[in-house]
Structure 1
Amino acid sequence: MREDFLHYVWQQQYFDKQALRTHTGEEVTVLHPGFHNTDAGPDFLNARLQLGEVEWNGAVEIHLRASDWRRHQHQTDARYDQVILHVVLTDDQPVLRTDGTPIPTVALAGRIPLDMLHTYQQLQAAPPATLPCAPFLPRIPDITRISMVDRALLERMERKAATVQLLHQQLDNDWEATAWHVLAAGFGFRKNTEPLARLAKALPLRVLRRHRHNLLQTEALLFGQAGFLSATENNTDDLADEYVQKLVTEYEFLRHKYALENTGLQEHEWNFLRMRPANFPTVRLAQLAALLHARPLLFDALLSAQNVAALEQFFSAKSSAYWHTHYRPGRAGNVPALGRSSMHLLIINVVVPLRVAYARTVDQAEQVEAALHLLTQLPAEKNHILALYEGLPFTQRTAADSQGLLMLATAYCQPLRCVECAIGSRILRHNSVLK
């Protein structure tokens, strides 16, 4: 058993409260269980309890064993002096505040309904890479599943938006610079997200803005700061290419002009392994350069686009002719343009979080809804995580569905946080033991 199950049992008061007494024999009446505290300190705050003849207001701390109090060093932490009741499964040791006064303890062993306990154990015992609640799902109302996926979708987008908001603060509240950083990371398409994020830091938007009208110079800045224009013993022939030589010449001039020495990346920091040439970071850099060249105001365009079609048009900027026939500097090969599926990933991972972050910053709730509506215009994604939900009563028609299910899987199902999920809670509440 995990402690979160006892949190759930206490919060919902799913235990036998008849003749409930502390370890010293005082009768306990729960007037209010308190509010779950997700920050540091006791587990539940502002609880109201009657112990014997006296009503108390304060905190409740929950452990599987009373001895966990000392193991967690609560006896030396003044934040826990406000605890008025210690709720445990097993009472194996008295507990004290920092001043040495005892804290009343209640043991719930034998008071939790057996059906609920067995159901919880069954959920927790699910094999890896499976959905714990799958056997129970036919008994769960559609509204419960749908509302939980919707909640998970909002949590996922809020989490992504919080990262964007933090970046926005670090960039002196400049939304255009924020859009550049988020867009650059997005063009990494997971395998190269981290190096592209570092490239955005190594290449300030103010420098790119001055040369965005010249595609060759924009490419030179990106490829140079990415480390693809530096000579090594392995790429001498590649850099002899006439077009690449132009990039090298432009970059050397701009590098000195803007004092970019020692701020860029090196070629070995990029991932090429097990990737198709169309996904190589060099191809993505060429596409990003074309976008910067063709779209002078990134943030305004991404914020004002009314639908997916407008955003697809935004992302359709064509890279220079050289990058239609080369996938790395000096290496020939046919390269397709940025595909619709890639555009859709950029809308999901860049545009929507950026717009949600902006809406939260300016306190415009309707803009959050508008941003999430974009996801309903996109087809659902497909990957090994979402495959877990195929054949089960979950809808997977749009990106809103798949993004919600991804959050459900990674934040609830895989870490077995069943008691914090509306679906798991309903299963436990109805004691639905699978026979």
Structure 2
Amino acid sequence: MQENFLHFIWKFKYFQQTSLSTQRQETLTIKSTGLHNHNAGPDFLNASIAINDIDWYGHIEIHKNASDWKKHKHDNNPAYKNVILHVVWTYDYDIVREDDTIVPTLLLTPLVDHKLIEKFDHLFLEGNTIKCQQLLVDVPRIKRVSMLDRVLFERVERKASDILSLLKNLDRNWEECTYQILTEYFGFKVNNDAFKRLSTLIPLRLLKLHAHIPFQNEALLFGASGLIDQNTITDEYTQKLVREFKFLSHKYNLKGKEMSKVEWNYLRLRPANFPSIRIAQLAAIVTNIPHLCSSFLHINSPDIFYRLMKIPTSSYWHSHYLFNKESTKVIPKYIGKASLQSLLINVIIPLQFAYGLDKELESYTEKAISLLDQIPKENNKITRQWTALGLKNNSSLDSQALLELYNNYCSKSRCLECGMGHHLLTKKNEHMNISS
């Protein structure tokens, strides 16, 4: 028996409601199960019950074994002083308060329909990550759509919340916040941490001071990145970068704060994704787009973003992927379309949504969702699993919902919190005495 299943039973009252009594034979009436608490503290807050016709208001704690109370060290935790009912599957322990009174205990075991337990075991204890994949066809379309809508907004809101937290830490500087988010995602997962650190070493305000001399911005970013190996410098461009950074690092007190080359990952990356190329592209973007935040907030179609970001690197990188190693082909290094779509999904849309939440402007949150629906669908292992099971994937709006459902529900076995899992578990159990 899993504790999250007991939470599910309690929350939705999937247990016998009549003739209840505590383990000490006190009559018990459940008036309100309380609010499910996903943070530290009792499992359900602000519940309402009656014991021997006396009303009690407080919290509910649920355990598989009553003795888990002691095992989890709730005895000395003040957060549990207002627990008015202990709900358990196995009764093996009495909780004694400081005043020597006993916290009432409700034993669920005889109150739950065994068919519900069997169905839970059958549905959710199998090996597949998508545990309901064999039965997904039995979920009504409206419930599937409702759940996918829910997880989509959870995903966008979570990313927006991260942005608003960063904004707060940056004294509500939207430009610096936008720059840091953009820079982090220039790592395209493999080098996100390294790019995030680079954005804190070289803030946007510093780059803006040198926007009129693009080479100085390259020197700042490349110098701070630690990617230049000064022992193997052979070309004039790299020598000049080192000299320029030496001057700027002294001016801005950057000496000794540079990153190490080992912080950057080149393994299994295509040359177009090398950190050196991405830094050169970032330097070009922040130099040529003077107001990042306002520019990104005005994006209402992918094509507008593609045009805005069509900025080539400096000429050195047309013939290089790494320092001191000239390539045979001379090609301007623009950010590819797939990478731009990734930036739209991970930077522009969360930024617009966060701005809309912060300013209480629905036009921005709506624009963010509309923009997501205009981006082509993502085609990967996870989305293909869902489409094979009959779920649609027509745009990134669908893809993001499918990814969130898989990563934040299926892979974490949160089936009981999923609308589709809830439906599969409780259908054909209408004969149970269930009250809302």
Do 1:43 and 1:62's aligned partners in 2 also have CA atoms closer than 8 Å? Answer: yes
Q: Does 1:117 align with 2:117?
A: yes
Query: Which stretch shows the higher mean deviation, 72-81 or 397-406?
Result: 72-81
Deviation of residue 431 (structure 1)? Answer: 4.8
Deviation of residue 230 (structure 1)? Answer: 4.3
Deviation of residue 410 (structure 1)? Answer: 1.2
Deviation of residue 16 (structure 1)? Answer: 1.7
Deviation of residue 281 (structure 1)? Answer: 0.7
Partner of 1:389: 386
Amino acid at match of 2:310: S
Query: Which stretch shows the higher mean deviation, 58-67 or 92-101?
Result: 92-101
Deviation of residue 394 (structure 1)? Answer: 1.2
Partner of 1:274: 268
Extract unaligned runs of 5+ from structure 1: none
Deviation of residue 388 (structure 1)? Answer: 2.5
Distance 1:291 1:108 in 2: 61
Runs of 4+ with deviation above 4 angstroms = none
Q: Give the secondary structure class of the aligned counterpart of 1:147.
A: helix
Distance 2:98 2:403 in 1: 44
Partner of 2:130: 131
Partner of 1:229: 228
Do 1:87 and 1:105's aligned partners in 2 also have CA atoms closer than 8 Å? Answer: yes
CA gap of 1:213–1:126, structure 2 versus 1, over 3 A, is farther
Deviation of residue 123 (structure 1)? Answer: 3.0
1:74-85 correspondence to structure 2 within 5 Å: 74-85=74-85
String of CA shifts for 1:229-266, please: whole Å, max 9, x gaps: 3414xxx1xx2112222222222222222221122212
Q: Give the secondary structure class of the aligned counterpart of 1:337.
A: coil
Deviation of residue 330 (structure 1)? Answer: 1.3
Deviation of residue 328 (structure 1)? Answer: 0.8
Deviation of residue 81 (structure 1)? Answer: 1.9
Q: Give the secondary structure class of the aligned counterpart of 2:134.
A: helix
Distance 2:161 2:5 in 1: 28
1:397-408 correspondence to structure 2 within 5 Å: 397-408=394-405
Partner of 1:249: 243
Do 1:81 and 1:98's aligned partners in 2 also have CA atoms closer than 8 Å? Answer: no
Q: Give the secondary structure class of the aligned counterpart of 1:94.
A: coil
Q: Give the secondary structure class of the aligned counterpart of 2:62.
A: strand
Distance 1:126 1:264 in 2: 50
Deviation of residue 22 (structure 1)? Answer: 0.7
Distance 2:229 2:170 in 1: 29
Deviation of residue 83 (structure 1)? Answer: 1.3
Distance 1:266 1:77 in 2: 45
Amino acid at match of 1:108: L
Deviation of residue 182 (structure 1)? Answer: 0.5
Q: Give the secondary structure class of the aligned counterpart of 1:18.
A: coil
Amino acid at match of 1:241: D
Do 2:49 and 2:56's aligned partners in 1 also have CA atoms closer than 8 Å? Answer: yes
Do 1:75 and 1:98's aligned partners in 2 also have CA atoms closer than 8 Å? Answer: no
Partner of 1:428: 425
Amino acid at match of 2:181: V
Distance 1:92 1:357 in 2: 49
String of CA shifts for 1:43-82, please: whole Å, max 9, x gaps: 1122121222222222111111111111112222222121
Partner of 1:303: 297
Deviation of residue 5 (structure 1)? Answer: 1.1
Do 2:3 and 2:62's aligned partners in 1 also have CA atoms closer than 8 Å? Answer: yes
Partner of 1:261: 255
String of CA shifts for 1:378-429, please: whole Å, max 9, x gaps: 0121223333213112111111111111111111101101111111111112
Deviation of residue 126 (structure 1)? Answer: 2.4
Amino acid at match of 1:156: R
Partner of 2:310: 316
Deviation of residue 365 (structure 1)? Answer: 3.2
Amino acid at match of 1:419: L
Deviation of residue 36 (structure 1)? Answer: 1.2
Deviation of residue 158 (structure 1)? Answer: 1.3
Selected match of 1:327 from 321, 328, 351: 321
Deviation of residue 269 (structure 1)? Answer: 1.2
Identity %: 39
Selected match of 1:289 from 263, 283, 287: 283
Partner of 1:194: 193
Amino acid at match of 1:369: E
Partner of 1:102: 102
Do 1:131 and 1:413's aligned partners in 2 also have CA atoms closer than 8 Å? Answer: yes
Distance 2:362 2:426 in 1: 33
String of CA shifts for 1:285-342, please: whole Å, max 9, x gaps: 1111111121111111001122211111122111122212210111123465211110
Q: How many residues align?
A: 426
Distance 2:343 2:240 in 1: 30
1:36-75 correspondence to structure 2 within 5 Å: 36-75=36-75
Query: Which stretch shows the higher mean deviation, 374-383 or 413-422?
Result: 374-383
Distance 1:167 1:53 in 2: 51
Distance 1:80 1:31 in 2: 20
Do 1:76 and 1:98's aligned partners in 2 also have CA atoms closer than 8 Å? Answer: no
Q: Give the secondary structure class of the aligned counterpart of 2:363.
A: helix
Partner of 1:3: 3
Amino acid at match of 1:150: D
Distance 1:79 1:253 in 2: 57
Do 2:369 and 2:397's aligned partners in 1 also have CA atoms closer than 8 Å? Answer: yes
Q: Does 1:374 align with 2:379?
A: no
Do 1:356 and 1:367's aligned partners in 2 also have CA atoms closer than 8 Å? Answer: yes
Selected match of 2:411 from 404, 410, 414: 414
Distance 1:64 1:218 in 2: 59
Distance 1:156 1:99 in 2: 46
Q: Give the secondary structure class of the aligned counterpart of 2:40.
A: coil
Partner of 2:177: 178
TM-score using structure 1 length:
0.94
Do 2:207 and 2:287's aligned partners in 1 also have CA atoms closer than 8 Å? Answer: no
